[in-house]
Amino acid sequence: MARIGSFLVLLYLTYALTLCICDDETNYGGSERGNLFPGFYRSSCPRAEEIVRSVVAKAVSRETRMAASLMRLHFHDCFVQGCDGSLLLDTSGNIVTEKNSNPNSRSARGYEVVDEIKAALESECPNTVSCADALTLAARDSSVLTGGPSWTVPLGRRDSTSASLSGSNNNIPAPNNTFNTIVSRFNNQGLDLTDVVALSGSHTIGFSRCTSFRQRLYNQSGNGSPDTTLEQSYAANLRQRCPKSGGDQNLSELDINSAGRFDNSYFKNLIENMGLLNSDEVLFSSNEQSRELVKKYAEDQEEFFEQFAESMVKMGNISPLTGSSGEIRKNCRKINNS
C-alpha cells in the first residue's frame, strides 16, 4: 500500500507541474458564483494550492484511506450551512460542534490533516486563506491522488462563526435512508439526481463501519431478514466482519474491488448487487433514471469522471460566505478571538 501511495504522489506531483489553472474571474463567471473564482489568491497567496497539495500528498502517502476521509469532510461540511468550514469547529463558548452529530461521531476523520494544511498556509500567508477553501482544495487533491479526476476550484469562501449540530443531524443523508429521502436531501442543497449518483461514486474509495450496514445483513425491513438486494456470497463475507452485535467500528471496503483507487468500479459493484451501503444499492434498485446513470458510469469511466468533477464544483458552491461575511480563521477549530 505504501508503494502504491508513493507512486500516486509522484504521478500527481508530475501532473501538477503541467496543470494550467484558469484564474480569470471573468472567463469563469466568478461574479455569478457568489464571488468565487479560481484566481482568488493569485496575488494574496500565490502558492496556496501548491501548499494544500503538498500536505495532502504527504497525508495520503502515509495512509491512502485519508483521501476518502478528507473528501467526506468536505461533503459533510457543505451540507450544513453551506461550504463554510463549520464542521471543523470544536465546542467552545456558544459553539456546539458538528463533530458529535450522528453522521460524524466516531467516523469523521482527517481533522489533523486540515490543521496541518492551515498551519502551513498561515506560515506562508497569515490571515488569508480560509479553512473552507483549504478543505475544498483538499477534496479535489484527494481525488487526483487516488487516480480520480481533477477540476478547477472556485475560491474565495470565508469561514463561519457558527456551527449547527441539528443541521448536521438532519441534512446529511444516512446510510440506511430510502432513495426518496436521499434525493430529497440533495435537492435541498440545490443538487439533482445526476449529482446524487455521480457524487455517490466517491464511495469508490474508503471504508465504512459495521454499524452503517449491519441492518442490511440481519434486519433490513424490521422482520429479522437480510436485504434481498444484497448478493449472497458478498453478504456472507460481510457477516464475518460485522456480527449481529458488537464490532460496531469494524471496517469494510466501500468498493470491494479497489478501495484505494478512484475509478468506476463502484458502479459495476452496484449492478452486481454488491454495494456496501443501502444508500449505495438503492441507486440501482429503486429508480429507473438513477439505474441508467449507474449503468452509464459503469460502462464509461471518463463520463463518470467528467460528471463527478462538475458535481463537486456544484456542491462546493453551496451557500458560500463571501465578501465581509464570516471570517478567515487563524485556527480551523475555533473562531477568532474566542
Per residue, the 3-state secondary structure of 75-141, as one string, reads HHHHCCCCCCCHHHCCCECCECCHHHCCCCCCCCCCHHHHHHHHHHHHHHCCCCCCHHHHHHHHHHH
Confidence of residue 220 (pLDDT cuts 50, 70, 90): confident
Rounded Cα distance, 117 and 187, in Å: 31
Model's pTM, two decimal places? Answer: 0.89
pLDDT at residue 32, rounded to an integer: 38
Q: Give the ranges where 242-287 is alpha helix by DSSP (H).
A: 265-271, 278-285
End-to-end CA distance of the chain: 41
Which residues have C-beta within 8 Å of that of residue 335, sequence separation ≥ 6? 89, 92, 95, 159, 161, 327, 329
Annotated ligand binding at 98? The verdict is yes
Integer angstrom CA distances of residue 157 from 84, 225, 312, 330: 7, 47, 15, 14
Tell me which DSSP letter residue 263 carries.
S
Q: What does the pLDDT average to over 241-255?
A: 94
Among this protein's residues, is 76 annotated catalytic?
yes
Rounded Cα distance, 265 and 279, in Å: 16
pLDDT at residue 34, rounded to an integer: 56
Per residue in 163-206, pLDDT tens? 999 999 999 999 999 999 999 999 999 999 999 999 999 999 99
Per residue in 121-153, pLDDT tens? 999 999 999 999 999 999 999 999 999 999 999
Q: Is 122 within 8 Å of 331 (Cβ atoms)? A: no
Annotated ligand binding at 203? The verdict is yes
Annotated ligand binding at 263? The verdict is yes
Per residue in 272-331, pLDDT tens? 999 999 999 999 999 999 999 999 999 999 999 999 999 999 999 999 999 999 999 999
Stretch (H or E) spanning 24 = none
Q: What does the pLDDT average to over 64-91?
A: 97
What number does CATH give the domain 47-206+254-317?
A: 1.10.520.10
| Residue of 65, 76, 214, 216 marked active site | 76
Annotated ligand binding at 77? The verdict is yes
Per residue in 38-53, pLDDT tens? 999 999 999 999 999 9
Domain locations in the chain as residue ranges: 47-206+254-317
Q: Is 71 within 8 Å of 143 (Cβ atoms)? A: yes
Annotated ligand binding at 74? The verdict is no
